[in-house]
Structure 1
């Protein structure tokens, strides 16, 4: 098994679709097993380093994307917030100008929403704000 392991990591070190036999490695090493196992150590170290780099990079990317999403969305409603609006507005104005298109902006303000919170409690107000667009009436009932 150790010979197969040495050949496997040598093949990985050489790149994709490479066939390496332990016997050919021994011939190239001139019968010096010590050099062969040093090379095996280097190959294993290289493969593990590449895998760890990929893993850390992917985890970091996921964390940055999650932080960006959280910074641009309201936690309760999952709607984009003012920070997102400000960043996106300039891009949309530029795109509309570039293509010669009109741009419409709609803002929604809930008048007297404080009365819902005061009359029914903040948990009920939160349920109304977090209601799905498919069933808003059931959330506020």
Structure 2
């Protein structure tokens, strides 16, 4: 069983009729094959911790990371960090057809994730150097 966790501030409303919305015949967001594959996946809908406080009381438990199994101590706000880097695409993609829009946004998100991941590895290398230096100083005294 594959489980996907979707974390977004409007999840409490967006999950309603989700399958119908993404498979709409006039403007589908997924292909028929993707839709079939999606039916075999369990989707868990959650609201990021910062946004949860603004929701009604019934949402706070149902869509909370705190009460959801297998998500750890996640805060769920990372999905929001992509939008600022994608804002520059708005003027370009509004003139494109659906397929080109999807491709351009996907490419931009891949680039953002690549940039983020390579930045993390550089950070880990730098932290590793700092740890080695600290260990050498401690071990040498």
The structure where strand makes up a greater share of residues is 2
| TM-score range relative to shorter protein | 0.3 to 0.5
Higher relative contact order (CA 8 A, sep 6+): 2
Larger Rg, first or second structure (1 or 2): 1
The structure where helix makes up a greater share of residues is 1
Normalising by the residue count of structure 1, what TM-score does the alignment of the two structures yield?
0.34
Normalising by the residue count of structure 2, what TM-score does the alignment of the two structures yield?
0.34
